[in-house]
Amino acid sequence: MRRLEDTTAVVTGGGSGIGAASARRLAAEGAAVAVVDLHSAAAQETADDIRRAGGLAAAFEADVRDRSRMQEVVAEIVTRFGDVGVVFTGAGVSGARIDSHELSEQDWRGVLDINLSGTFFTIQAALPSMLRRGGGSIVTCGSTSSFIATQGGLAPYRASKGGVKMLTQTLAVEYASHGIRVNSVCPGAVKTNLSSNTAAIVPTAGTVRNPSKPLNVPLGRYGEPEEIAAVVAFLASSDASYVTGQAILADGGVTAE
């Protein structure tokens, strides 16, 4: 399918994991994809993959915590590809598995600043372009932790993802009259390098998930990044034209139990 022809898509966290898979999928659907990542080499690798597959993409280095830089990057993207029609805020970290009474300020802010503030700064930077275009689709990256707190712990991560869910609903209502839909994809356990990426930013973070260990998931396995990317592509496309303000779980059935 080519549901996103003549559309400019911005993907943060596009250098790895769900972000990279989503960038590739949106490009396969016909979008010109701006791959944004804190690590320029990783962003470039995803963009190169897309171009080798016949798609259109460019890499941009940016830290989503830097509001001014995100505004600069979006301006560069608009100059290169045209006004933004799709945004996927894939940049995120998991956080430290530390008892809440022992969390440092760095532990707390390190996660909230990226997962929640970074999501907002990305969307805020893109909104003027989307308004000029006359509409579009924003997809945030939530989590099962937007809904449940299985086993407790990870307070900054769970707080950030709960915040992303409410931010998604708020923006969906605020911008519905402008033709801008805002939804959230909420993955469960997915095979990514989220934990190692987190450790580079939140030094006290430990390994959150170990794909070699069995999971209590009704479908009996970890998800693949490409499976989440498929949901992102649906929400980005006109096939989801009457869907806004929703948090779509893609968790193998975990929250159904």
Q: What's the CA gap between 172 and 140, in Å, rounded?
A: 11
H or E, element range at 181? strand 180-187
Contact yes or no for 215/189 (Cβ under 8 A): yes
Q: Which of 16, 200, 28 is nearest to 90 (CA)?
A: 16
Please say if 157 is a catalytic residue: yes
Q: Which residues of 143-159 are buried (b: 16+ CB within 10 A; e: fewer)?
A: bbbbbeeeeeebbbbbb
The one catalytic residue among 157, 175, 222, 242: 157
Rounded to an integer, what distance in angstroms lies between the CA atom of residue 227 and that of residue 241?
21
Active site residues: 157
